[in-house]
A and B are shown apart, each in its own frame.
Chain A
Amino acid sequence: MISRRTVLGTGALAAATLAAPSILHAQTKTLKITTWGGKWGDIMKATVLPAFEKEFKCTVSADQAFPYVPKLQASPKNDPLYDVLHTNSNEQWNCFTEGLVMDKITPKEAPNVADVYPWAASDKIVGVAIFTSAIGLGFRTDKGLTKPTSWKDLADPKLAGARGSYIIPVNSLGQCHLMMLGKIYGKGLQDLDAAYKALEQLKPIKLVDFTGQMEKMLLSGEVSMGVIHDSGVYRYDGQNQPVDFASPSEGVMALEQVLNVTPGSKVKELAFAYVDYMLRPDTQKLLAEGVWYSPANKKVKLDAKYDEKLLTTEAKVATLIQPDWKWYNARKEDIDARVTKILKG
């Protein structure tokens, strides 16, 4: 006969067994991060994040639903939605201005920061950059075009209606291109009058709001030459696509992938550990070769095919031009209105 004590004892044991994973889970720290989707997201979810979770005995909650900054803005600063924010540099500067992210991440917090190229921790960066792409010109190789050598080649009259760039208010590559126009046709990256004049001369031009769309426009032949980052072209390497990337002689603009920690994070040590982990040479190599990003860590040794094309030496990274996003963001509303009027119609 089953006694009441036996029933109660068995029930308690069963309840403890069932509750064990959630009790364990409650004791495990959770790191909340943002990260990209696509191929990058696949590598992160399949390899990088599970390895991090295993090593640091934590769980990582990764948000891939862009845009991240408005969500971070809406959360309390003392209990932010993210512990680590991964965005491009322009957005990090916005967050920094609002006190949503830290100023710098130093080797004291993440030892691998000591090994990054100067651009990755320069005064143009808040937080620390983990990768960069080079913004230059993508072009079709089957349209009889000679490989562009200058940004001015995009203004070739033959490319009327077949050149492409971005909707400047919503895309940082478009914003970089505008600043580059100021440098090429005026006194420098901040010569907006020269940039506006040059932009007017580029009409008719096809504008898109994200780089994936530019890739499709180049692949379909909808544009013959367009502003794009090297990764957006190199990722089709080996697929026999008639597209190539050119680095203009005036320099390429940097499209940095930046990590930063939120000051109100409750798991700051784990957040710094994640930043450090992302800067480890093996993590850097895996992601750099997976998505054709140039690594920030100087110690990374890429396979020859990647090493040849990506910015992996001091000489190559010297061609990178980093925009002053603090300056740009302060004028963004005026710039947005001006370029919208220029490009409309």
Chain B
Amino acid sequence: MAVASRPSPIAWLLAPALLLFVLFFVLPFGVMAMMSFYSGNPVTNPNAFLTTRHYERFVFDTAGIYHDALWSTLRIGLITTIVSLLIGYPLAHWMARMQSRLGHALVLMAVIAPMLTGIVVRTFAWMTILQDKGVINTLLIDWGIVSKPLPLMYNEFGTVVALVHIYVPFMVLTLTGVIGRIDERLEQAARSLGAGRLRAFVEVTLPLSLPGILAGSLLVFALSISAYVTPSLMGGTDVLTLPMLIAQQVGTSFNPNFAGALGVVLLLVSLAIVVAYNRILARLSGEQGLA
């Protein structure tokens, strides 16, 4: 009887992951959430008191920038996810169906190679390409195609371009695994029954790859809405996202309590979107919950 109540060896193997989750997510998030309900740091300031003023500040938005920043964050996240999916899916499909091992390895290396360079470096590289005196604008002006620089940077366009470049590998790697596990004979069967290439893809391969689409999209969306460096460097005055506001509050306004409230708001809104997205995809694929 006593043996039956002992945790299984598998449970013990899960312990490190669980500990990691508690230490590096639950605990920091708990502290952040707690701080967001205090007027100051209760550990160092005995006069700190409980308050909802940081949330009121966001909700009523008398400054007129917080709601815009939230919308901007979500918009950039959604556009980046959609573009990454559009670029990543065909590439992942091609990789998954590739017969040559060498070819697969080479493409995989090409996909992973950008990840070997830091985000700051990659963003600076995009700056040298997209800025007014950058490679593209200089060439276009020199060739007489345009008379003044195109607005390729210091806006949402430049931000999304750089983010897509950074996050496409995450989409590709996630999708490749899922598409690779889809039995090719299913597609062949559909075609033998008279479906064209496109119809076989739309009605067989695409629905079966929905779990990969969901996982890849959630990964890219989560990374995009929490991106700080790239929107800061590429966005100029046009882009203000919640992570930028959070960094401002911590690093230059020295108000970690309001930053905590902004962090909680971002997490809650993101979770709501993720749940809704999961349900929509589940309904589309006829399954009850994909993730």
**A residues whose Cβ falls under 8 Å from a Cβ of B:** 67, 69-70, 73-77, 94, 98, 161-162, 167, 169-171, 205-207, 209, 213, 220-222, 332-334, 336-337, 340-341, 343-345
Size bracket, chain B contacts: 20 to 34
A73–B256 CB distance below 8 A: yes
Contact pattern, B 221-256, Cβ under 8 Å of A = 1, otherwise 0? 000000000001100111010000001101111111
| Complexed CA–CA distance, A220 and B247 (Å) | 28
Name the B residues within 8 Å of A221 (CB-CB): 133
The yes or no answer to B65 lying at the interface (CB within 8 A) is: yes
Q: Give residues 92-116 of B contacting A (CB, 8 Å).
A: none
Known: A73-B41, A337-B65. A207 touches B237 (CB 8 A): yes
5 closest A-B pairs (Cβ-Cβ)?
A337-B63, A343-B237, A67-B251, A170-B252, A221-B133
Compute how far the CA of A221 lies from the CA of B128 in the bound complex, rounded to whole angstroms.
12
Q: Is the CB of B251 within 8 A of A170?
A: yes
B133 touches A340 (CB 8 A): no
Residues of chain B within 8 A (CB-CB) of A340 are 65, 240
Q: Does B64 contact A (CB under 8 A)?
A: yes
| Inter-chain contact B253/A333, CB cutoff 8 Å | yes
- Other-chain residue from B149, B248, B250, B254 in contact with A169 (beta carbon distance below 8 A): B248
Which residue of B65, B247, B252 has the most chain A CB atoms within 10 A of its CB atom? B252
Closest residue on chain B to residue A167 by CB atoms? B237
Residues of chain A within 8 A of B43, CB atoms compared: 74, 76
Q: Are B253 and A74 in contact (CB under 8 A)?
A: no
The answer for the CA separation of A341 and B68 in the assembled complex, in Å, is 10
B44 touches A77 (CB 8 A): yes
**Is the C-beta of B73 less than 8 angstroms from some C-beta in chain A?**
no
The answer to whether residues A345 and B133 also contact, given A70-B256, A336-B248, A337-B63 and a CB cut-off of 8 A, is: no
| CB-nearest residue of chain A to B62 | A337
Q: List 24 A-B contacts (CB under 8 A).
A: A67-B251, A67-B252, A70-B250, A70-B254, A74-B43, A94-B254, A98-B254, A162-B132, A170-B247, A170-B248, A170-B251, A170-B252, A206-B236, A207-B237, A213-B233, A220-B131, A220-B133, A222-B132, A334-B63, A336-B63, A344-B65, A344-B237, A344-B238, A345-B238
Which residues of chain B are within 8 angstroms of A70 by Cβ–Cβ distance? 250-251, 254, 256
* Cross-interface CB contact of A341 among B41, B64, B132, B248, cutoff 8 Å: B64
B154 interface hit (Cβ, 8 Å): yes
Contacts of A169 in B (CB 8 A): 248, 252-253
**Within the complex, which residue of B44, B240, B247, B256 is in contact with A75, where a contact is CB–CB below 8 Å?**
B44
